[in-house]
Structure 1
Amino acid sequence: MDKQELERLASDNPAGTVPASQTVSRGKLQRQVSNRQAVESSNPSGEQGTVIEKPPQQLTKYDVGWRRVVRNFSPSWFSVTMGTGIVSILLIAIPFKSRWLYWISVFFFVLNTLLFSVAFLTSVLRYTLYPEIWSVMIADETNSLFLGTIPIGFATLVECWIFLCVPSWGAWSITFAWTCWMIDCVVAAAVTVSLTVLLISKSHQQPLHHITAAQLLPIAATIVAAGTGAEVAEVLQNPDHALGTLIASYVMWGMATPLAMAVLVMYYQRLALHKLPPREVVVSSFLPLGPLGMGGYTIMYLGKVSREVFPRVEFFHNLVIAGDVVYILGAFVALIMWGFGLMWLAFALATIYKSRPFPFNMGWWGFTFPLGVFAVSTIEFGVEMPSLFFRVLGTIFSVAVIILWMVVAVGTAKGAWSGRLFYSPCLANLKKEERQPKGVEDREKEASK
């Protein structure tokens, strides 16, 4: 690539330029070249012991423009869809109903659909054009955990579809939601199992002080899929289909929730022994609210739907109180999990207070979804008990999440426009010959020779 073409690419949308930490000023580059030439002229024989400065590596077309955006588009960008989706769900769930809240929730649903579509297509493009990135991303102990954000983000779309589209569009929309939920279940369970197996099968040990609450992300994917299954079962017209969906959701809840509790014990031990995590990842301290809030909401909602479905299919040999039993047990388990989540919320707020200030990064989206599902669980308590206290408290949490979404969305838009957020650390693990990949056009040229 010639110099003019490179400058043209670099002068495009700033989102396509390299981060400030990777750029070299023209004056500094000229000084380094001049120093190198002066040293070479004074020592033409190149004897040993003389240090010759080398100019920085020249940027290629893969370091600027859309190619850099695609190569650095890590799975953490799906956390944007998680945060946007939970805002839409909260606007639907707020018990103090209003027509304008409904239309704002529709707006966020459409926005989330567009964001998820763009993120998914960009990810497909990334691993299609640069397949070598997939293996290093999976091997990365931190980056791979964000694969859990993909099924979680998709699950928020399914939930919004159930609440917003099914009441208006009828039977076909129910079938569509059920199909999408089954796809989400397969992906979520695959992410939970595979990443957990990869974690425990590493050839090298991971120090305890490297453990963060991000370990909960792939586990939370299955819990969210179980909660979505309860909502799908509620709208299914065939009672046998609804029963199968409920049983599958109970199984997924059992797969993930105890595992999340085990990770929380490990994470608490890490905090007790090695104190607070670094400022760059301190926002992850809110992540325990995710499996606790969503886990409590899921087991309570499953009991709610079971109370309606079990008598229709004569489940447990026509035992009429079977649905009531699981409903009551689910409500008490959810209340215990909510109390445990309240404790972790206090830990998270204290951590944020002691670690301020901390830099903006994609981890800030960890503020939105965990607190959002905790708010949904709180609102559901207010509906089922019923309790004005929980309804008001859930609404307060919801407003806080919406304000946090606005703050984080503005920061993300600025970071995306400047290109600073398009940075994937796992690319440093690529082999030397793979760091300057050959694009499609390069491969075509080689094939034509």
Structure 2
Amino acid sequence: MSAAESPETTERSKHDVGWRRIVRNFTPAWFSVNMGTGIVSILLNTLPYNGRWLYYISILIFVLNVVYFTVFLAITLLRYILYPEIFRVMITHPVQSLFLGTFPMGLATIINMFCFVCVSPWGDGAAYFIWAVWVFDAVVSILVAIGIPFILTTRRNGIDLSAITAAWLLPIVSCVVAAASGSIVADILPNVQIALATILASYVLWGIGVPLAMMVICVYLQRLMFYKLPPKGMLVSVFLPLGPLGQGSFGIQRLGKSAQTIFPKTGTLSSSTGEILYSAGFLIGILLWAFGLVWLSLAVGTLINSRKFPFNMGWWAFTFPLGVFTTATCTIGQELPSRFFSVLGML
């Protein structure tokens, strides 16, 4: 070490180069890649007009998503083990903390695809394994959905209305996504009592996420009316309200369908409860879908009006919200059944 170099300079340079720099600057926003990749694999696996070749592509993308998630999780754990002080800074940051919701949502896409492609050939053990993973995902979703808004509202430095973006929905939508995943997990469980508990827990998750998301959407609409469009770097975030609306629609429809099957088997409430929940789920689902159509029109109109906007990590906001809105559209087409909704979902 030369006389000009101090220990502080050496220590700082070591953490600002190489793999340490990557680990130190790795934020939760990277899990949005899992969300986007995961919803693509789910769509290719469940589209109404599908082919065997699309099924195999969905498997490849599913494996790619698992690799992404494993790598991102390893880097995240390494980040907070090596730099534990960063966690406190991150969780109180007005922007970075919002992306904590992408972790359970990215994991939920893996849970869904595991149910679709792995449980049938691997048996009951795989079903109980993925149910345990879903329980973990649901707990994390609740902690994030309630904890992050609480932390943000208790910060010493206030947040102006003009600074609010649709990213405020990210921690809240995690509960809505977990609820939809719960309906899929319940369908593959061999034990009907555990399946019933999963459905009821999923209704609770849906009840936490969707009303809270509606409140944030109202605030976000107020922000747009008062301060116009967000900066061009955040412009793609106008698609984010499609997330809770599309996934909320898909989830409540799937939960109603699951309740229609599980409630009579377990003797829960009256004999007609399952049918009532199924019909109510479809009605609520199509209303949420219609509200999502409004936001889709506003988002597309915003991009047409802006014409040019820079490429950044926020572009993943195109993929997951549009993807879950598509799953809601296709589910409506399956339940009616309706060629219109099925073709629209394919488009």
1:327 alignment partner in structure 2 = 278
Alignment pair present for 1:340 and 2:288: no
Equivalent residue for 2:162?
A: 209
Letter in 1 for 2:38: G
Q: Does 1:151 align with 2:104?
A: yes
Alignment of 1:26-45 (within 5 A): none
The residue aligned with 1:355 is: 306
Within 5 Å, give how 1:39-438 maps onto structure 2: 60-316=13-269, 319-396=270-347
Any idea what the Cα deviations from partners look like across 1:110-148, whole Å, max 9, x if unmatched? 000000000000011111111121111112101110000
Residue type of the alignment partner of 1:329: A
Three-state SS of the structure 1 residue aligned to 2:311 is coil
Gaps of at least 5 residues in structure 2 are: 3-9
What's the counterpart of residue 5 of structure 2?
A: none
What is the CA–CA distance in structure 2 between the aligned matches of 1:87 and 1:352, rounded to whole Å?
A: 22
What is the CA distance between 1:58 and its match in structure 2?
A: 12
Any idea what SS the aligned residue of 2:118 has?
helix
Does the residue aligned with 1:202 lie in a helix, a strand or coil? Answer: coil
Name the aligned partner's letter for residue 116 of structure 2.
Answer: F
Alpha-carbon shift at residue 97 of structure 1 (Å): 2.5
The one-character-per-residue Cα deviations of 1:201-224 (angstroms, maximum 9, x if unpaired) are 122221000000000000010110
C-alpha separation in 2, matches of 1:154 and 1:292: 20
Offset from partner CA, 1:359-384 (integer Å, 9 cap, x none): 11111100000000000010111111
For residue 417 of structure 1, what is the aligned residue in structure 2?
Answer: none
How much has 1:356 moved relative to structure 2?
2.9
The equivalent of 2:6 in structure 1 is none
Structure 2 residue matching 1:315: 3-state secondary structure? coil
> Where does residue 13 of structure 1 map in the other structure?
none
Q: Distance in 1 between matches of 2:309 and 2:89?
A: 28
Aligned residue-pair number: 341
User: In 2, distance between residues paired with 1:67 and 1:236?
Assistant: 43
Q: Distance in 1 between matches of 2:18 and 2:191?
A: 51
Partners in 2 of 1:139 and 1:201 — Cα distance? 10
Could you tell me how far apart the structure 1 residues matched to 2:145 and 2:239 are? 20
Paired with 1:135 and 1:245, the residues of 2 have a C-alpha distance of 33
- Using the aligned pairs only, state the percent identity: 50
Q: Deviations over 1:264-298 (max 9, x none)?
A: 00000000000000001111100000000000100
> What secondary structure, in the 3-state scheme, does the structure 1 residue paired with 2:308 have?
coil
2-side partners of 1:59 and 1:143: how far apart?
Answer: 23
Question: Larger C-alpha radius of gyration, 1 or 2?
Answer: 1
Q: Does the C-alpha gap of structure 1 residues 58 and 186 become closer, same or farther in structure 2, counting only changes over 3 Å?
A: closer
Amino acid at match of 2:273: A
For 1:374-398, what per-residue CA distance to the aligned partner results, in whole angstroms no more than 9, with x for missing partners? Answer: 00010111111100111111111xx
The amino acid across from 1:260 in the alignment is A
So what's the TM-score if we normalise by structure 2? 0.96
Structure 2 CA distance for aligned equivalents of residues 351 and 99 of structure 1? 37
Query: Counterpart amino acid of 1:67?
Result: R
Aligned-partner residue type, residue 333 of structure 2: G
Q: What do residues 177-233 of structure 1 show as CA deviations (whole Å, max 9, x unaligned)? A: 111100101111111111011122122221000000000000010110010000111
Instruction: Provide the rounded CA distance (Å) in 2 between the counterparts of 1:247 and 1:198.
Output: 28
Q: AA paired with 1:356?
A: R
Provide the residue aligned with 1:23 in structure 2.
none
2-structure distance, mates of 1:240, 1:132 = 43
**1:59 Cα shift?**
7.6
Q: Kindly report the root-mean-square deviation, in angstroms, between the aligned alpha carbons of the 2 structures.
A: 1.5
The letter for the 1-side match of 2:276 is: V
Cα shift at 1:354: 2.1
Deviations 1:143-185 (A, max 9, x none): 1100000000000000000001011111111111111100101
Q: Any idea what the Cα deviations from partners look like across 1:382-435, whole Å, max 9, x if unmatched?
A: 111100111111111xxxxxxxxxxxxxxxxxxxxxxxxxxxxxxxxxxxxxxx
Counterpart of 2:315, as a letter, is: W
TM-fit CA distance, 1:239: 1.3
Task: Name the SS of the counterpart of 1:226 in structure 2.
Answer: helix
Distance 1:58 1:249, change over 3 A: closer
Counterpart Cα distance in 2 of 1:238 and 1:127:
38
Q: Which amino acid aligns with 1:351?
A: T
Which portions of structure 1, spanning 4 or more consecutive aligned residues, are displaced by more than 2 angstroms? none
Partner Cα distance (1:139, 1:81) in 2: 23
Which amino acid is the alignment partner of residue 278 of structure 1? P
Structure 1 residue runs of 5 or longer lacking an equivalent are 3-56, 397-449
Equivalents in 2 of 1:140, 1:330: separation in Å? Answer: 37
Counterpart Cα distance in 1 of 2:84 and 2:191: 43
Letter in 2 for 1:309: I
Partner SS for 1:371: helix
Structure 1 letter corresponding to 2:346: T
